[in-house]
Amino acid sequence: MQLGNFSLSLNVKDIGVSRVFYETLGFSVIAGNEEQNWLVLKNGDANIGLFQGMFEKNILTFNPGWDQNGKELKNFTDIRDIQKKLQESGISFEQEAKDGTEPASFVILDPDGNPILVDQHVESSK
């Protein structure tokens, strides 16, 4: 099962302060909009998202259909196929992806209650 690009989505108090901090650590903004309170930063193979006022907790995030640079992949496992396999394995969902081919997302919790967001931004080729 290919979950796609991995990043850590951080719930931040002040996106500007957090951006400067992570830029000091060598990260560069590759996507997002600071006025909309979200940015994606990259340092080598490490990706992080900064989100102000959007989540209660930090979230592990996977993006089917994207490589580590946020570029669309031609071949990838569709989110609905991932969801079906996890459901068959007994995983419970906080939020489910809807049927179709459009972008979709789902949320599950790990055994310790950490949220995992699987967020497909590209349309499926199905």
Domains annotated on the chain, with CATH:
5-120 (3.10.180.10)
Residue with tokens 């989100």, as numbered in its chain: 51
Return the closest-CA partner of residue 63 out of 10, 115, 117. 117
What share of the chain has pLDDT > 70, as a percent?
Answer: 99
Distance CA 79, CA 98 (A): 10
Question: In the chain, pLDDT over 90 holds for what percent of residues?
Answer: 78
Whether pLDDT at 126 is above 80: no
What would the pLDDT profile of 34-72 be if each residue is shown by its tens digit? 999 999 999 999 999 999 999 889 999 999 998 888 888
Q: Look at residues 53, 55, 48, 43 and name the one whose alpha carbon lies nearest to residue 114.
A: 55
